[in-house]
Amino acid sequence: MMTNQTLANRDLSVLWHPCTQMKDHENFPIIPIKKGQGVWLEDFDGNRYLDAISSWWVNLFGHANPAINAALKDQLDTLEHVIFAGFSHEAGIQLAEKLVEITPSGLNRCFYADNGSAAVEVALKMSFHYWRNLGQTQKTKFITLENSYHGETLGALAVGNVALYKETYAPLLMDVITVPGPDCYHRELGETWVDYSTRRFAIMEQTLQQHADTVCAVIVEPLVQCAGNMRMYDPVYLKLLRSACDKYNVHLIADEIAVGFGRTGTLFACEQADITPDFMCLSKGLTGGYLPLSAVLTTDKVYSAFYDDYQKLTAFLHSHSYSGNALACRAGLATINIFQQHSIIEQNQGLAATMTKVGARFNEHPHVSEVRQTGMILAIEMVKNKQTREPFPWQERRGLKVYQYALSKGVLLRPLGNVIYFMPPYVISEDELLLLAEIAWQGIQHATQQ
């Protein structure tokens, strides 16, 4: 019979898991999941876990969602995959049409890749290549924000700024210009998000002014730096950035891989600043959390800079074998259908308000320095000293203690360092949010003792 134990043993003898010090599993078990239903996962011993982090921020409408399942079963009997160069298919075309329709106006072209990091690589290469096709070969650099994260492949890692993931590989990475960011955790006492974000933009403006001639693009995660401990900022920063990029002739790349598809309260975070980036990267929620797929949306202006006779060698010759996978595109279509048929963005306002309500008590906790929220993301920052905000030493791994405690109580709350966050599927109920908050509270109590 298959049990957690037998499967964990087999797993640990052959597998190497992502983002994991495998030696940790000498002390705590890997959990083999047998099935999922809605917000719940179930392991081989029959334990259930509430998936409060949407399985790395991908799941939107629950595990084994009936509508997405049905669409995929139908697609499976029709076409699973076909080469996407020289060939096309209905699901890929329909999804591109939908994405052009629902993303900010002006994004009229859709290029498929197969994961988030790959989408970031595509956007970086396209931006560089655009300027090159225009004869501006001196534009070779990218501007990025402090504390940003854009993926783990070498280009994406280079434009990110989370030391834990980046530092080891520094000798392999291209040089980028890193600008202090608008992360509102650092605002002065009494300063608003708008004021702080506006004030911090001055450094970006100066940097653009100084380096515009050699810069292809600025890349940002709109509104929430998710992997950078769920740090947040005001839309005003994006507004200012859009006009500065126009002024200095530099592209704006919006990495909405984590924040797209309703996470920040609007379908796309850029909507809150009423801007259209030159490139928008999408993945994660794009397929409802079912299959790897990503898309880079861009403008007619960018597209036409590549459109010429073959002999001019201006084409974008980037490819991935699974670009535009038909099953993944069909899952994407089914996901967007759910948004449109059930007014999800409006419904989520109620859920976000409940998250605010259940999150409020954490403000009183003696080891919580901040509770912050943007739409369907709520983050709780644990610190050693509430007054000075001195963090717990990372070596103490307090977040991990919360994680393990919560798992023992049937909640999956994988933290980012000392930040505990709720980023649940949109099908979570009010009762489940209450349960989640209660277990998180107990977990933080447990982890911050002595």
Binding site for ligand PMP (CB under 6 A): 115-117, 120, 149-151, 221, 226-227, 255, 257-258, 283
Residue 149 in contact with residue 230, Cβ under 8 Å?
A: no
Q: How far apart are CA 381 and CA 215, in angstroms?
A: 35
Least distance to ligand PMP, CB of residue 318, Å: 16
Rg, C-alpha atoms of the chain? 22
Which residue, among 225, 248, 256, 217, has the nearest Cα to 160 in the 3D structure? 225
Q: How far apart are CA 352 and CA 355, in angstroms?
A: 5
Single-letter residue type at 425: P
Q: Is the CB of 44 or the CB of 149 nearer to ligand PMP?
A: 149
198: tokens are 């506006």
Q: Is the CB of 133 or the CB of 283 nearer to ligand PMP?
A: 283
Q: How far apart are CA 256 and CA 296, in angstroms?
A: 10
Q: Is the CB of 116 or the CB of 415 nearer to ligand PMP?
A: 116
56: tokens are 């790395």
Neighbour-count burial for 347-381, b at 16+ CB within 10 Å, e otherwise: ebeebbebbeebbeebeebebbbbbbbbbbbbbbb
Least distance to ligand PMP, CB of residue 285, Å: 11
Distance linking the first and last C-alpha atoms of the chain: 42
Q: What SS3 string covers 130-175? A: HHHHCCCCCCCEEEEECCCCCCCCHHHHHCCCCHHHHHHHHHHCCC
Q: Is the CB of 416 or the CB of 444 nearer to ligand PMP?
A: 416
Least distance to ligand PMP, CB of residue 280, Å: 12
Q: How far apart are CA 233 and CA 143, in angstroms?
A: 18
Q: Is the CB of 109 or the CB of 414 nearer to ligand PMP?
A: 414
Q: How far apart are CA 232 and CA 373, in angstroms?
A: 8
Non-local CB neighbours of 166 within 8 Å, separated by 6+ positions? 157, 158, 160, 173
Which residue, among 235, 272, 152, 227, has the nearest Cα to 377 in the 3D structure? 227
Q: Is the CB of 150 or the CB of 398 nearer to ligand PMP?
A: 150
Least distance to ligand PMP, CB of residue 1, Å: 34
Least distance to ligand PMP, CB of residue 259, Å: 7
Q: Is the CB of 43 or the CB of 221 nearer to ligand PMP?
A: 221
Least distance to ligand PMP, CB of residue 256, Å: 8
Least distance to ligand PMP, CB of residue 150, Å: 5
Non-local CB neighbours of 47 within 8 Å, separated by 6+ positions? 4, 410
Q: Is the CB of 216 or the CB of 286 nearer to ligand PMP?
A: 286
Least distance to ligand PMP, CB of residue 203, Å: 21
Q: Give the number of other CB atoms < 10 A from CB of residue 435.
A: 18
What residue number has its CB nearest to ligand PMP? 116
Least distance to ligand PMP, CB of residue 306, Å: 24
Q: Is the CB of 260 or the CB of 367 nearer to ligand PMP?
A: 260
Residue 128 in contact with residue 314, Cβ under 8 Å?
A: no
